[in-house]
Chains A and B, each alone.
Chain A
Amino acid sequence: AQSVTQPDIHITVSEGASLELRCNYSYGATPYLFWYVQSPGQGLQLLLKYFSGDTLVQGIKGFEAEFKRSQSSFNLRKPSVHWSDAAEYFCAVGGLLYNQGGKLIFGQGTELSVKP
């Protein structure tokens, strides 16, 4: 079955510290992978996406993510966190499985808090 797991429900980091949010997936074909961010009371905004090619992808707001096929992971990183990065982050997987038709499967989300 297709699934996405974000093992960390809540993470707190200090401003200026580095960040890594974990995402593991299970998908029966070549996956397309996404990270979204949701600020309080808002919809989801796309941070970055992986379709193919270079396994290290750059996104908006200084975020990057690395696709590791052998580990079925797509972890999100940022070298120096800003207070405005406090939000909820969602990992999602989709693809071309015949019965999926492009639907996305979302993880449970990781809430990020930033300490001054």
Chain B
Amino acid sequence: DVKVTQSSRYLVKRTGEKVFLECVQDMDHENMFWYRQDPGLGLRLIYFSYDVKMKEKGDIPEGYSVSREKKERFSLILESASTNQTSMYLCATFHSPGQPQHFGDGTRLSIL
């Protein structure tokens, strides 16, 4: 089974802090995604990566950046956290287009 591990289940930070959310997968998948999930809005794509050191913006990239230095690790960075970034963040990976995505358990981030 594919295992996608997000470093924190719950995280509380203050406005203006730089926040790192980490995601590690163990299946050698090239494709990795970061989503945020908010009630009534479903999952919205923040950034994705098809290869090491490669990244593309998703639908809502503002206020976020990403890093992919190694194939198995995809990090989401909130450069200067704001209260409107309080949300559930989900990391996902998949093998190739058309295949299902495999999700981590999510990080519930609160910005105070």
Residues of chain A touching chain B, judged by Cβ–Cβ distance below 8 Å, are 9, 32, 34, 36, 41-46, 49, 51, 90, 92, 94-96, 100-104, 106-109
Contacts and interface: CB of A to CB of B under 8 A. Distances in A.
The 6 A-B residue pairs whose C-beta atoms are closest, nearest first, are A102-B97, A43-B103, A108-B42, A106-B43, A44-B103, A43-B105
Interface of B: 4, 9, 31, 33, 40-43, 45, 48, 50, 58, 90, 92, 94, 96-106, 108
A107 B42 CA distance: 6
B106 A43 contact: yes
Contacts of A102: 31, 94, 96-99
Specify the main secondary structure of chain A where it touches its partner: loop
Nearest to A105: B45
A43 B104 contact: yes
Nearest to A9: B40
A9 B40 CA distance: 8
Contacts of A94: 97-98
21 contacts: A9-B40, A34-B100, A41-B9, A41-B106, A43-B4, A43-B105, A43-B106, A44-B43, A44-B103, A46-B102, A92-B101, A100-B97, A101-B50, A102-B96, A102-B97, A102-B98, A102-B99, A103-B33, A108-B40, A108-B41, A108-B42
